[in-house]
Structure 1
Amino acid sequence: MRKTLEKASNFIDGINEAIGKGVSWLTTILVILICGDVAARYLFNTSSAGWVELEWHIFSFIFLLGAAYALKHDKHVRVDVFYQNFSPKEQALVNLLGSLLFLIPFCIIIIQASLRFTYNAYIINEGSPDPGGLPFRFIVKGAIPIGFFLLLLQAISLALRSLLMLTESTTEHA
């Protein structure tokens, strides 16, 4: 049973590691786009709603699709006032309870709500209301359920690893 849980956690970690590394390249693209936009604005006195929207779309992809990667590497925001002084087992208990009681249910709620949101944008072929803005807004809206699904998977991996940590000494002595 323990090996199965470890394999499941490793599989999830592998998915989010690959996606996180891929998404990290979007930061380079975003920097290039922003520099190009700034240069066009100051050198040629021109700007485009489409360029600005593309910048925030890419930022959205980075944030939404990279959140699970951040959780996997423990680089997410946390109030460490007490947590940093906890033993590894106490940290595992906090991670397990936090995942099961807060993160997993929150991800499920966001996924359910955002699927309808994304579907409606697709059905009406929603685009930007701004002249020169981008079409196909459902693509960026689709990143919401995908990003939260990846976060849900990583929360499951965190819960599994925490459970394994908490049961480690009991299985070794049994």
Structure 2
Amino acid sequence: MGKIADGIDALNEWIGRFVAWVVTLLVAVVFIDVVMRYAFNTSFVFTQELEWHLFGFIFLMGAGYTLLYDQHVRVDVIYQRLSKKAQAWVNLMGCIFFLFPGAALIVYISSVFTWESFKFMEGSPDPGGIPFRFILKGCVPLGFVLFFLQGISMFNRNLNIILNNKSYGNQEESN
């Protein structure tokens, strides 16, 4: 099970590093948009939509990476005071009751509207907008598949803590 978790971690690590470069691209696009608006009193629909698309891509594709490093949002008032084994139980139950069903549901539902978007080669309804909106919609199920996979890694690592009373891999670094 450790090799599977390591492979999932490596995949999300690689994707997370790629997404970091996309953040740099987003900053450049926003900068150009602001300069065009305030210095030249003009703006382009394409640029504004590109900002939304890049942000959506970053959020969706970076979710697994965020979970890899245990940087997702949670209320740590009680959790941080628990033992490693108790934290592992909380994480395990969170995976079973929230992460797996939630991610699976989003993958299933978003796959339907993504397929429709691909089928019709959906683009922006606005003149001058991005013609390939279906690509961003494809990031919804893909991003949640990566998140689900990272949940499997997290589940395996926390199960190992419960059963063997020791952690391995990224779990040690992030706690």
Please classify the TM superposition score into its range, dividing by the shorter chain length. over 0.9
CA contact (8 A) 1:121 1:138 kept: yes
The alpha-carbon deviation at position 59 of structure 1 amounts to 0.5
**What is the identity percentage for the equivalent residue pairs of Structure 1 and Structure 2?**
50
Counterpart amino acid of residue 74 in structure 1: D
- Residue of 127, 132, 139 corresponding to 1:131: 127
Kindly indicate whether residue 38 of structure 2 is the aligned counterpart of residue 42 of structure 1: yes
How many residue pairs align between the two structures? 166
CA contact (8 A) 2:85 2:165 kept: no
Kindly indicate whether residue 52 of structure 2 is the aligned counterpart of residue 61 of structure 1: no
Matching residue of 2:144? 148
Alignment of structure 1 residues 4-15 onto 2, 5 Å: 5-15=1-11
Give the 4+ runs in structure 1 shifted more than 2 A.
Answer: none
CA contact (8 A) 1:122 1:136 kept: no
Kindly indicate whether residue 9 of structure 2 is the aligned counterpart of residue 30 of structure 1: no
Bigger Rg, which one:
1
* RMSD after superposition: 1.0
Matching residue of 1:166? 162
CA contact (8 A) 2:88 2:161 kept: yes
TM-score (norm 1): 0.93
Question: Hey, what's the Cα distance between the residues in 2 that align with 1:114 and 1:138?
Answer: 12
Question: Hey, what's the Cα distance between the residues in 1 that align with 2:77 and 2:162?
Answer: 22
Question: Hey, what's the Cα distance between the residues in 1 that align with 2:165 and 2:121?
Answer: 55
Question: Hey, what's the Cα distance between the residues in 2 that align with 1:125 and 1:148?
Answer: 22
- Residue of 81, 84, 90 corresponding to 2:86: 90
Question: Hey, what's the Cα distance between the residues in 1 that align with 2:70 and 2:104?
Answer: 21
Alignment of structure 1 residues 104-119 onto 2, 5 Å: 104-119=100-115
Unaligned runs of 5+ in 2: 167-175
